[in-house]
Amino acid sequence: AQTVTQSQPEMSVQEAETVTLSCTYDTSESDYYLFWYKQPPSRQMILVIRQEAYKQQNATENRFSVNFQKAAKSFSLKISDSQLGDAAMYFCAYRSDLTQGGSEKLVFGKGTKLTVNP
């Protein structure tokens, strides 16, 4: 079974600075998807960014980018120019590739709480 590990329970960053959240995962599959979700105090789960394992290029969404290292099974999230609204719990998640008969289930890490200091 796949597992996702977020080794940083809490992180903090100064406003306008850059922060990197770590995520590692364990799988024997070759094709899969990785996601970062943001959960602000409202508790809504908001998709931040997604990465397909078959793509070598790292995904980018505005101030959010990932460093995907497939061989190392690492998937870190970099937030540039941090804003107060970025303060939230961040979850890393894994999903199998359906074309290989995988499950649609998202496997989540336990989360990293990000604090942004003004």
Q: Which residue ranges make up the site for other proteins (CB under 8 A)?
A: 33, 35, 37, 42-47, 50, 52, 91, 95, 97-99, 104-106, 108-111
CB of residue 98 to other proteins, shortest distance in Å: 6
CB nearer to other proteins: pick between 87 and 90: 90
CB of residue 91 to other proteins, shortest distance in Å: 7
**Reduced to 3 DSSP states, what percent helix, strand and coil does the chain have, rounded to the nearest 5?**
5, 50, 45
23/62 Cα distance (integer angstroms): 20
CB of residue 106 to other proteins, shortest distance in Å: 6
CB nearer to other proteins: pick between 51 and 82: 51
CB of residue 8 to other proteins, shortest distance in Å: 14
56/108 Cα distance (integer angstroms): 22
Helix (H) or strand (E) run with residue 89 in it: strand 88-96
Nearest to 16 by CA among 86, 69, 77: 86
| Token pair belonging to 18 | 């850059």
DSSP state of 9: S
CB nearer to other proteins: pick between 34 and 82: 34
